[in-house]
Structure 1
Amino acid sequence: MLTTILSTAVVLGVLIFVHELGHFLVARRAGVTVLRFSLGFGPRVFGIRRGETDYCVSLVPLGGYVKMLGEDPEEEVAEAEKERSFSHQPVKKRLAIVLAGPLSNVILAVALFAVVFGVFGLPHLTTEIGTVTPDSPAAEAGLQPGDKVLSINGRELADWDALSETIQQEGLGPLDVVVEREGEVLHFRVTPQVREVKNIFGEPIQRPIIGITASGSYEVERVNPFLALYYSLGQTWTLSKLFFLTIVKLIQRVLPMETLGGPILIAQMAGQQAQEGLMNFLHFMGLISINLAILNLLPIPVLDGGHIFFFLLEALLGRPISVRKMEMAQKVGLFVLILLMVFVFYNDIMRLLPKGQGIPMP
């Protein structure tokens, strides 16, 4: 329990701090007065004032914020202070300040993955077979669980991804599969069959398969710091695309809304990853950091993406959006966000309950 609490505090604390630090640093660089840098919302619990900024921790630990002078377009700003007011800055400066938060989370993810790959190494799923489907081409050819696939049609395989990719590239032609079994190298002739399988989003697709699954064993490849950074950039890009596609699939109702999780699920997973070791914990923090960046870029008012959307509209129209329209959009966005929070909390609670037991409804 203590591990879960501490790991959750570290994950959320670091991610929120880095996000708000991005806003803060770019705002200061742009010459905007920052009145408050807060971790958490609600009443101020404690803090310290340095210059014009109040650095504090607030009561509700679900987020954070940076309050800037003139952030509210209707706020009264003295003439002498307008040059340091957020709302009086050019659109490009306001865009940079808002975009800095999600971008900081992306940079943090790259750094975390680089540390994981550089210090612990690059994990690869081995080509060891875990299961062989009965009556499949692999079973008929004689492949067995525990066999390590060395090559297919002369192509040496570094990991399971290469194995899967090779089968797809070779299509339905016969495959010369070379495996290692108890120290002995064996050759098999396997002809794939096209069958319906499900992708990571649960969608049915047709693809050639031979009927094997991975054992789940990993090998760790040591890489130098430059390669670690290169691989971390690739990992960040791949996961960003995956999270974006996940949002699209949720909107299309391909993925059920029940798959969404909130703070309770994050806490559970943070505790589990912390128990697995530092490598898993840092990798998990990188995943959540990318997730936070993508979610904040959604064009929903009250999120960074909503502000970016309005600033881009302003740049296209050549004039600011009316305060009344922005206020209406903010109210709608806040309502949507509250509904989403209630829904993910409900999902989290339902996951905690024994299967078959629900929350009594009035």
Structure 2
Amino acid sequence: MSVLSSVFFSIGGFVSALIPFIVLLGVLIFIHELGHFMVARWCGVKVEVFSLGFGKKLLKWKRKDTLYCVSLFPLGGYVKMFGHEYGKEVAEKDRPIAFLHKKLWQRVAIVLAGPLMNFFLAVLIFAGLNIFVGEKRAFPVIGELAPSSVAAQSGLAYGDLILSIDDVPVKNIREVREIIFEKPDTLLDIKVQNLSQQVQTKKVLSQTGPATGKWGFLEKGGVIEGLTFFAAAAVLGVSDPNSPAGQAGLKTFDKVISVDGKKINTRKELFHILNSTPSSVSSWTLEIQREKDLKTIVLSRPQNDPEGEEAHHLGLIRSDLFIADLKTNGVAEKAGIKQGDFIFKLNGERLPSWSFLVEKIKNFKEQDGALEMEIKRQGQVKSFSLVPEIRKQMINGVEKKSYMLGIIAQSPLIPVGETYVEKSKNPVKALTFGVGKGLHWCAFLFVYIKKLVAGDISTKTLGGAITIGRAAYDSYSYGLEYFFRLMAILSVQLFLFNILPIPVFDGGHLLFYVIEFFNGAPLSIKKMIIAQQMGVLAVLFLLLFTTFNDLHNWLFTW
């Protein structure tokens, strides 16, 4: 009975995961084919079939001259128009309703209507999200800076709110990054308001380096070394189960929500409160989140504990020094390291942070021998000799090889500044925003294709139906806002993909019509058939290639 239950549960899980994918594709395909259908009818062309999907017809009904149907395979759809086949004779009396006997501008309008409907759909979704959900932004409050960084050496500090750069006001992190990116190797005047509410202007020299550009790709642009707007979230690490924190019931990876009723966001804020509490205070009341549960825990101060280092003496340390997960068959797992182990020494030195460990692994040299790692597990010290292995990983669309141990830390970073929502109640402004967002994604995709062709981005980033299916399920799981955003982005992709000059796609037909316009006559049927065959081969190759990528990424993701 348990086996049958497991089987039914697995089938049910698969079906529930498939539904968002079918809905997503169904809407995109329906809108696309609806564009062809409406303009064809408007131009007087007889539409014989309107189908969602290919293959066997699961549902069908006829209304007037058109057969409407839903077919077995949802990866596409089609509108079959009368007189669309090249080389097929059409009776004189039927020519007014035949596609190929329509004027050139009408044929162009019918073909272009499908892709344009996808773009219009994206615009409407982006506009709707802007009205009802908005765009989340964070105020540009500076995060934790390395003391030796250019940002820190220039006088910038944790908690500084950036007001302007070179007299240009800034409101959020994105605006700050865009201005700095456009000004490499420049001495910038950055006006900030510090935690004491004092307004000061700092002179900071930007450099040329890798930075996220306008279209979201890593490019050369202006950067300020060490500048960040993020800090570690108030996630706990408990060094010893017998410590005051452990005895109070706190566990590693608990997230602190508040201390004595005061809201806490970052680890720095948490440790500051604990370390600056007067010795007369004997305990703190912590509200914590453990997975999905909220708990209240009273943490008592040890007797005769010196002021200034309470967090350390309580047994609270950085959570990123604990192993949150292990890669299957990775070096660490094979050596016997376990989830929850506390890494406190590497090659005899105390480990200050996760980033320090990452750098050591990244710069590993085989001639230096194994890395000697000491961990604590339930208060017991264990030693391991680990030799990192080279693995491939995708970084900003580029496949790179690097040394890895196969350990994963949990050190979530959050913006230090409060977040706010930008939205518009004005429909005209929202539509303008939607058009801008649609054009932005068009430009992004053009840049992506350009980098793909140039070899700057790996072809392994191309995905097909499985990738779309996984994205559909994941976005739906996060919420309808994310699902609709994905739908809008894919709708823009469908728009661009269909206007590419590849025969069998709308763009291929448009290319034929451009040639017809300049030649004064259509291409020969023979040439069009050859072009169509080449187009089919190209599409089949792309389909096989993306399916291979999908399966590889799904089954062998490191």
TM-score (norm 1): 0.91
Look up the match of 1:138.
151
Distance in 2, matches of 1:302 and 1:131, equals 54
CA distance in 2 between counterparts of 1:142 and 1:55 reads 68
2-structure distance, mates of 1:174, 1:320: 60
Query: Structure 1 or 2: larger helix share?
Result: 1
Whole-Å separation in 1 of the counterparts to 2:135 and 2:116: 25
Aligned position for 2:224? 209
Q: Per-residue CA shift, 1:212-243, capped at 9, x if unaligned?
A: 23436542123122221111111111111111
Q: How far 1:199 sits from its partner (Å)?
A: 4.5
CA offset at residue 168 of structure 1? 4.4
Q: Which residue of 1 aligns with 2:46?
A: 33
1: distance between equivalents of 2:422 and 2:140? Answer: 15
> Is the aligned partner of 1:66 residue 2:101?
no
Residue aligning to 1:46: 59
Deviations 1:111-167 (A, max 9, x none): 000110011123334323455456332122343455443333444311122212333
Instruction: Please show how residues 87-106 of structure 1 align to structure 2 within 5 Å.
Output: 87-106=100-119
1:176 pairs with one of 173, 190, 197: 190
Kindly indicate whether residue 212 of structure 2 is the aligned counterpart of residue 10 of structure 1: no
* Match for residue 221 of structure 1 among 395, 403, 422: 422
Name the residue aligned to 2:545.
Answer: 343
Q: Go from structure 1 to structure 2 and tell me whether the alpha carbon gap of 1:323 and 1:170 turns closer, same or farther (over 3 Å shift).
A: closer
5+ long unaligned stretches in structure 2: 1-12, 231-413
- The number of residues matched between the two structures is 355
Given the alignment, which residue of 535, 541, 557 partners 1:333?
Answer: 535
Q: In structure 2, what is the Cα distance between the partners aligned to 1:298 and 1:134?
A: 51
Matches within 5 A, 1:1-362: 1=13, 4-130=17-143, 132=145, 135-144=148-157, 147-168=160-181, 172-181=186-195, 184-185=197-198, 187=200, 189-199=202-212, 204-215=219-230, 217=415, 218-224=419-425, 225-355=427-557
- Whose strand fraction is larger, Structure 1's or Structure 2's? 2
The answer to whether the 8 A contact 1:141-1:188 is kept is no
Alpha carbons 1:137, 1:190 under 8 Å: kept: no
Cα distance in 1 between the residues matched to 2:448 and 2:52? 29
1:332 CA displacement: 0.6
Question: Who wins on radius of gyration, i.e. which is larger?
Answer: 2
The one-letter code matched in structure 2 to 1:106 is F
Q: Mind listing any 5+ residue stretches in structure 1 that lack a counterpart?
A: 357-362
Does the aligned pair in 1 maintain the 2:156–2:202 contact within 8 Å? no
Cα distance change on mapping 1:53 and 1:161 into 2, 3 Å? same
SS in 2 for 1:213: coil
Using the aligned pairs only, state the percent identity. 37
Contact 2:181 2:222 in 1 (8 A): yes
Q: Residue 203 of structure 1 contacts residue 254 of structure 1 at CA under 8 Å; is this kept in 2? A: no
Change (3 A) 1:214 1:109: farther
Give the SS at the match of 1:321.
Answer: coil
Give the CA deviation at 1:60.
1.4
Point out the more displaced range, 3-12 or 216-225: 216-225
Q: Deviations over 1:153-198 (max 9, x none)?
A: 44431112221233345651242330444x7446362422323215
Task: Report the AA paired with residue 69 of structure 2.
Answer: C
Summarize deviations over 1:245-273 as a string: whole Å, max 9, x none: 21122122221111111111111111222
Superposed displacement of residue 208, structure 1 = 4.3
- Residue 345 of structure 1: CA displacement? 0.8
Whole-angstrom distance in 2 between the partners of 1:109 and 1:244: 17
- C-alpha distance in 2 between matches for 1:196 and 1:270: 35
Structure with more contact order per residue of length (Cα contacts < 8 Å, sep ≥ 6): 1
Aligned-partner residue type, residue 537 of structure 2: F
Instruction: State the Cα RMSD in Å.
Output: 2.2
Alpha-carbon distance in structure 2 between the residues aligned to 1:184 and 1:297: 54
